Amino acid sequence: MILENISSNKLFEGWHKQYTHSSSVLNCEMRFAIYLPPQASSNTPVPVMYWLSGLTCSDENFMQKAGAQKLAAELGIAIVAPDTSPRGENVTDDSNKAYDLGLGAGFYVNATQAPWNKHYQMYDYIVNELPQLIEANFPVTKERVISGHSMGGHGALTIGIRNPDLYQSMSAFSPICNPINCAWGQKAFSAYLGDNIEEWKAYDSCELLANHKKHQPILIDQGSNDSFLQDQLKPESLTAIADSKLNIFQLNIREGYDHSYYFISSFIESHLRFHAVNLGLIKNS
């Protein structure tokens, strides 16, 4: 698979780069960003944190706003930020150009309904195609962790819970925890997956956690002043299930914080350290 490097920027002795490639899974050209810390070389490959962004975002939001690269450089963790959906003139979009369906709103599912199913196979792209591409072309190991924000937090949790052998840990900021029971999720799942709610459960963190006996450690940060907290995000639904589990689960309610990247940049370092512990890079303090 051919990668085209479209930008390169040096920071903290590492490199932030953007690439485009043709995706056979999504049937379109895709873009992703990667931050390679200074430790990354053919002799010393590094683990990867995959970051999944939220509605309307792309690879650029996290890389430009979160301020994660400094600590990633110190810890020796690469960061990969894919786009949030397929893109392009031939890719189906919502006819009303709604922000919560279509371009920028892939919801990290494998769509089964036409016309979405031709391109919207984001689950397979994140779990299989993109990591294979990264591992074949960059000095990284097969060790992965996954994180994300809002719709991307939903993606990080569902993908992490479903694939405990692929990810050492998972974390999320303001995730959509119970999409079956919120407007964002119901709209997207109806379009992408059809009317059978049983099929929706494969992409709902609450349903997955309730039915998986084992999962890797989970860290969630949620702002108390998040305008989407009650109607869309519903972390209490996930906490009620997680409390009955013996596995590691931590939810932090951050007083006064909202849904923005001001919130993410305030706590991203604690998430990187959490993942570094689970990757065996540092000890838990």
Q: One of 16, 119, 154, 259 is an active-site residue; which one?
A: 259
Active site residue 119: no
CA angle, 144 as apex, 142 and 146 as ends, to 5°?
A: 155
- CA-to-CA dists, residue 18 to 11, 36, 40, 73, 78, angstroms: 14, 11, 17, 18, 13
DSSP per residue over 191-236, as a string?
HHH-S-HHHHGGG-HHHHHHH-S----EEEEEETT-TTIIIII-HH
CB 177 within 8 A of CB 235: yes
Give the Cα separation of 158 and 139 in Å (integer). 27
Residues 6+ apart with CB under 8 A from 281: 47, 75, 76, 77
Q: One of 150, 169, 174, 237 is an active-site residue; which one?
A: 150
CB 157 within 8 A of CB 218: yes
Q: One of 226, 237, 271, 275 is an active-site residue; which one?
A: 226
Active site residue 85: no
Give the Cα separation of 281 and 145 in Å (integer). 13
Active site residue 226: yes
Q: Known catalytic residues?
A: 150, 226, 259
